[in-house]
Amino acid sequence: MKDSTRNIQGWLLFTPAAILLLAFTHYPTVTTFFQSLYTNKSILRPRRFSGVEAYESMFSDPIFWKVFVNNMWLALGTIPTSIGIAILMALIVNKAIPGRGFLRMAYFTPTMLPMIAVANIWLFFYAPEIGLIDKVLEIFGFEGNNWLGNPSTVLPSIIVMTVWKEAGLFMVFYLAGLQTISPELEEAAKLEGSSRWNYFWRIQFPLLLPTTLFVLINAFLNSFKLVDHLFVLTKGGPDNASNLILYYIYETAFSFLDISYASALTIFLLALLALTALAQFFFLDRRTHYR
């Protein structure tokens, strides 16, 4: 076969994927970027080039800063906790204990549920007075709370739910990581008099570092990507106390119909996620260092 024929075949094979990528990823990204540089078109005023105006108003928009800070708190609240719980669960189900298969499945179940279903379950937990949490509090004589209606408890409530949802997935990564560690290492450490605790901190945790890095970055990306539950639980309220960047973009674009501003927000989020993804590439290269 001639080289030119091979090239044509290659391009033909590549075309379907290329069309999809161009049509649904690259083209929208580029148009979004251009839309952010123009004002919105209306019947009264035509579209005009506005440069970085949308970005300027973004940085002076108190709601933008609020949702950004909310998002950072969400990341800070969910990531370390879910990683800690995931490691703990992985250590438990990595042991030869009775009912191990059942436990693994139980820990993983929240991950398999769609976010909307999870939100519905937790809506029942958090409901004031009739909700599970308030019922249990009542038994012990504590005052109930409108968990999702109170600006000071709504974000922590969402953090708790996200941890519950994500820890199971991270557990699977940690379990895989733990299983690559030879059991002879534990025996050798035990023979040297190393306690369980010392073995974890000196051997297991350092060896799980590549896994932790991977999970860390994924958890960070997830904290910006996962907003489905807001549609069910709070719609970002009360007073934007539980609003997150992606949900704010959705609201701006489709409720307030401010496409220009929504585009600027989108480009900001894309840049943030792209930077994180780059960091992932950069750091994960160091994984080889242990092998």
Partner 1 sequence: MSAIEVKNLSRSYGDIDAVKDVSFTVPEKSFTVLLGPSGCGKSTILKMLSGLEQVSHGTINIGGADVTEVEASKRGVSMVFQSYALFPHLNVKENIQFGLKVRKVPAEEREKKVAEAAQVVGLSELLDRKPANLSGGQRQRVALARSIVSDQSVCLMDEPLSNLDSKLRAEMRDEIRDLQKRLGLTVVYVTHDQVEAMSMADQIILLKLGEIVQVGAPEEIYNSPNSVFSAQFIGLPPMNILNLNEIDVSSLDSKIYSAVDSNKNIKDIGVRPEHIVFSKKGLPVVVKSIDYFGGETVFKLTHKEKDFFLREPRQPKIQLGDQLNVSWNLDDMYLFDKNDQRLKS
Compare residues 172 and 209 and give the one whose CB is closer to partner 1: 209
Compare residues 91 and 209 and give the one whose CB is closer to partner 1: 209
Q: Tokens representing 252?
A: 């701006």
Q: How far is the CB of 185 from partner 1 (least distance, A)?
A: 5
Compare residues 94 and 145 and give the one whose CB is closer to partner 1: 94
List interacting residues with partner 1 (CB under 8 A).
Answer: 182, 184-185, 187-194, 198, 202-203, 206-207, 209, 290-291
Compare residues 203 and 221 and give the one whose CB is closer to partner 1: 203
140-172 burial, b at 16+ Cβ within 10 Å, e below that, comes to: eeeebbebbeeeebbbebbbbbbbbbbbbbbbb
274: Cβ–Cβ under 8 A, 6 or more apart, which residues? Answer: none
Compare residues 47 and 202 and give the one whose CB is closer to partner 1: 202
Handedness of CA 122, 124, 126, 132 (dihedral sign): negative
Q: How far is the CB of 98 from partner 1 (least distance, A)?
A: 14
Between 62-94 and 100-112, two packed helices, what is the crossing angle to 10 degrees? 160
Q: How far is the CB of 83 from partner 1 (least distance, A)?
A: 19
List the alpha helices (DSSP H) in the chain.
3-21, 27-36, 53-59, 62-94, 100-112, 115-126, 132-139, 151-179, 183-191, 196-199, 205-207, 209-225, 228-233, 245-250, 259-284
Place of tokens 């690559």: 180
Compare residues 6 and 190 and give the one whose CB is closer to partner 1: 190
Q: How far is the CB of 212 from partner 1 (least distance, A)?
A: 13
